Amino acid sequence: MAILITGGAGYIGSHVALALLDTGHDVVIADNLSTGLASLVPARATLERADIRDRDRMAQIMRKNGVDTVIHCAGSTVVPDSVRDPLAYYDNNVGGTLGLLHAMQSAGVRRILFSSTAAVYAINGSDPIPESAPLAPASPYGASKLMAERIIQDMAAAGLMDYMILRSISMWPAPIRRAVRASPPRAPRI
């Protein structure tokens, strides 16, 4: 069986793909390449150019490649852009997650790991931010990720899927393989 990585041509997704390939997994990457780079996709991975909001295409990709797990890294991530154009962030991050979940249901895929963000937490000056911190996003970006988390949790509560959520802190190019090929973030993430 294969693992599907949405946004796998981006900074985080491409490194997840490398780690999975190095441990012997079959990896399929779905990315619309709106911000990702095809050159970041590992040669041993299968690249499917697709938008996660396209339910039928995503379900077809899952069926064709025998996907049994999804790692959802796709989404818009620049906080100032989310403030200027919140609707675009809700469309891509929430609408995209909805499209992906519908496709997963259609294809019979039950497992998802969602790459969320620490931007879902209230800004309170704690360093590090404890997982018990209040959830109160300060930007449309953080709010869109929190909404996507809630949808996934509701699907799991209904017995329709198994999930994990990873809330990462700002990712900045570091000495990780091939990191120099990724474009650095334009602005802080939280």
Catalytically active residues are: 141
Q: Are 9 and 41 in contact (CB under 8 A)?
A: yes
Burial of 41 (0-12, 13-18, 19+ CB in 10 A): buried
Q: Which residues pair with 29 in a beta bridge?
A: 5, 47
Is 187 exposed, middle or buried (CB count within 10 Å of its CB: 0-12, 13-18, 19+)? exposed
What is the identity of the amino acid at 149? Answer: E
